[in-house]
């Protein structure tokens, strides 16, 4: 069973029917983590809203360790993260998708590892390629097929560097210039430590990112939240269709 970790704007998925809600107790949170179990035809899928019920947790307050632990506990075989991002690459304007293949982590002060306390020995994970290539290819093929069938103007990048900033504020124009010089193609606030924790627990992890705005300074004027929510609303319908496809692939 695959799991979806849903970000801002994705509160439910049309193509899936609800089956049950699991409350998973973890060593990392006082409260259990709520994970919905859904079904698309015969295919089960787990659904975890990253920002908590009611979308109340900002990126730096999300309990990433408890979330990933809960999915491991449920026995999921892999994780598709859905992330709203700012576009830096010239082909990643609002409404375009990306399936990134690299990450640069600019976050700080987050609980970013399971290997911190009570260790028998110091533990390091390989993170050369932070995303699972097989899962990435499944995502790329699902998006490509949907694009061909729907003959929609669904545009996407099949690779890219995700720069993960601390938030919750958006970046300054100078910060985005620096990120671009570093090689970042998209910017968001939630891929880290999520991706690394999934790797620590040996869970394949890939991301479907939806650009909801040009990153700071790349379009005239300020970034409008109203615009972001409009793009999110429109884009999440397509996200649901990609997810239904990948679940059945």
Cis peptide before 168 (omega within 30 of 0): yes
Which of 146, 215, 218, 236 forms a contact with ligand HPA (CB under 6 A)? 215
Cis peptide before 93 (omega within 30 of 0): no
Question: Does 81 help bind ligand HPA (rule: CB under 6 A)?
Answer: no
Among 110, 93, 106, 143, which Cα is nearest to 245's?
Answer: 143
Question: Does 185 help bind ligand HPA (rule: CB under 6 A)?
Answer: no
Which of 9, 49, 78, 86 forms a contact with ligand HPA (CB under 6 A)? 86
Count of positions on this chain that bind ligand HPA (CB under 6 A): 12
Question: Cβ closer to ligand HPA: 45 or 209?
Answer: 209
Question: Does 188 help bind ligand HPA (rule: CB under 6 A)?
Answer: yes
Q: What is the 3-state secondary structure (H, E, C) of 67-98?
A: HHHHHHHCCCCEEEEEEEEEECCCCCCCCCEE
**How far apart are alpha carbons 196 and 192 in whole angstroms?**
7
Question: Does 92 help bind ligand HPA (rule: CB under 6 A)?
Answer: no
Among 242, 240, 243, 246, which Cα is nearest to 14's?
Answer: 240
Question: Cβ closer to ligand HPA: 116 or 225?
Answer: 225
Q: Residue 215 CB, nearest distance to ligand HPA (Å)? A: 5
Question: Does 94 help bind ligand HPA (rule: CB under 6 A)?
Answer: no
**How far apart are alpha carbons 176 and 180 in whole angstroms?**
6
Query: Contact residues for ligand HPA (CB under 6 A)?
Result: 84-86, 165, 170-171, 187-189, 212-213, 215
């Amino acid at each position: 069973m695959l799991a979806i970790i849903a970000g801002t704007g994705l509160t439910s998925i049309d193509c899936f029917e609800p089956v049950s809600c699991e409350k998973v107790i973890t060593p990392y949170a006082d409260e259990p983590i709520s994970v919905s179990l859904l079904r698309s035809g015969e295919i089960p899928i787990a659904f975890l809203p990253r920002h908590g019920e009611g979308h109340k947790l900002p990126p730096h307050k999300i309990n990433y360790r408890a979330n990933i632990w809960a999915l491991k506990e449920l026995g999921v075989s892999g994780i598709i993260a859905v992330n709203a991002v700012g576009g830096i690459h010239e082909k990643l304007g609002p409404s375009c998708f990306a399936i990134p293949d690299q990450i640069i982590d600019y976050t700080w002060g987050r609980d970013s590892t399971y290997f911190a306390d009570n260790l028998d020995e110091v533990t390091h994970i390989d993170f050369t390629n932070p995303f699972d290539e097989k899962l990435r290819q499944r995502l790329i093929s699902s998006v490509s097929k949907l694009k061909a069938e729907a003959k929609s103007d669904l545009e996407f990048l099949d690779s890219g560097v995700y720069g993960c900033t601390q938030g919750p504020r958006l970046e300054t124009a100078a910060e985005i210039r620096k990120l671009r010089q570093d090689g970042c193609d998209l910017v968001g606030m939630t891929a880290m430590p999520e991706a690394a924790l999934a790797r620590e627990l040996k869970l394949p992890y890939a991301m479907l990112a939806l650009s909801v705005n040009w990153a700071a300074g790349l379009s005239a004027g300020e970034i409008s939240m109203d615009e972001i929510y409009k793009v999110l609303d429109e884009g999440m319908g397509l996200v649901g269709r990609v997810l239904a496809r990948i679940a059945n692939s």
